[in-house]
């Protein structure tokens, strides 16, 4: 894995402006029932200025600010998919399904609900070749939200292939960033009486002209 795990508190100067933006958008369920709750349209379609500003702000954690904000000839370029996600209170149980974001280089999650008991856990497979199987039971549950007790037993069986290695608590306005190859899952989904609101950004195709490694990787090396 190339990308480090980062935690940044108080990421937005005024997070309530971001929360208010999220309230102006329409949310829909997963078309293939592979994730919980509802998501907004892609932010680059809903508010391009916020998308450009926020993705550059995230990338500036990894590369010098001046090379991520040069609009005329940037030294770092990337593609990103960003959306808000809402997960209803007390609907999906306390734990999420362990999965990876392996189509992307790294994932950023910014927590926008005041619920420190939520968050994300990182895992490692108990075996070298551990993989997450396509799970029809999970898709059926996300579609109809029926028989939570049965689903939790099924989820525990699927998650038993992994060992927890870190807990990243979901404090309000906290950003967590991790490599897309990291196995991860939600921590205490819906422990607040509010919907769990997050801003999720997936990054890929990162290209650099003048610097090979992101800053934390260079320091680590």
With a cut of 80, say whether residue 150 has pLDDT above it. Answer: no
Judge whether residue 93 has pLDDT over 60: no
- What domains, with CATH codes, occur in the chain? 6-220 (2.60.120.620)
Model pLDDT for residues 2-61, shown as the tens digit of each residue: 788 999 999 999 999 999 999 999 999 876 666 778 899 999 999 999 999 999 999 989
Q: Per-residue pLDDT for 92 more than 70?
A: no
Residue-level pLDDT at 55: 95
Q: Could you tell me the two tokens for 85? A: 């996600």
Average pLDDT over all residues of the chain: 81
Contacts of 30 (CB under 8 A, 6+ apart): 39, 142
Question: Which tens digit of pLDDT belongs to each residue from 98-131?
Answer: 888 878 999 999 999 988 778 888 988 887 666 6
DSSP secondary structure string for all residues of 88-133 = -TTSS-SBPPPB--TTSSEEEEEE-SS-TT-EEEEEEESSTT--PP
* Segment holding 196, helix H or strand E: strand 196-208
pTM for the full predicted model: 0.83
Q: Residue 145: which region, alpha, beta or left (left: phi > 0; alpha: psi -120 to 50)?
A: left
């Amino acid at each position: 894995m190339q990308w480090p795990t980062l935690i940044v508190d108080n990421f937005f100067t005024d997070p309530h402006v971001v929360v208010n933006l999220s309230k102006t958008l329409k949310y829909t369920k997963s078309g293939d029932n592979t994730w919980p709750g509802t998501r907004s349209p892609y932010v680059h379609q809903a508010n391009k200025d916020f998308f450009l500003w926020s993705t550059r702000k995230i990338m500036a954690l990894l590369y010098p600010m001046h090379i991520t904000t040069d609009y005329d000839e940037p030294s770092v370029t990337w593609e990103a998919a960003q959306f808000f996600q809402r997960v209803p209170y007390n609907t999906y149980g306390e734990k999420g399904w362990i999965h990876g974001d392996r189509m992307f280089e790294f994932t950023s999650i910014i927590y926008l609900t005041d619920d420190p008991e939520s968050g994300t856990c990182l895992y490692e497979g108990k075996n070298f070749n551990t993989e997450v199987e396509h799970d029809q039971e999970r898709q059926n549950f996300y579609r109809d939200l029926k028989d939570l007790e049965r689903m939790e037993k099924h989820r525990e069986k699927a998650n038993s292939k992994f060992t927890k290695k870190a807990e990243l608590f979901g404090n309000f306005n906290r950003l967590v960033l991790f490599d897309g190859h990291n196995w991860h899952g939600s921590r205490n989904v819906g422990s607040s009486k509010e919907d769990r609101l997050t801003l999720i950004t997936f990054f890929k195709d990162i290209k650099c002209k003048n610097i090979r490694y992101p800053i934390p990787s260079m320091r680590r090396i």
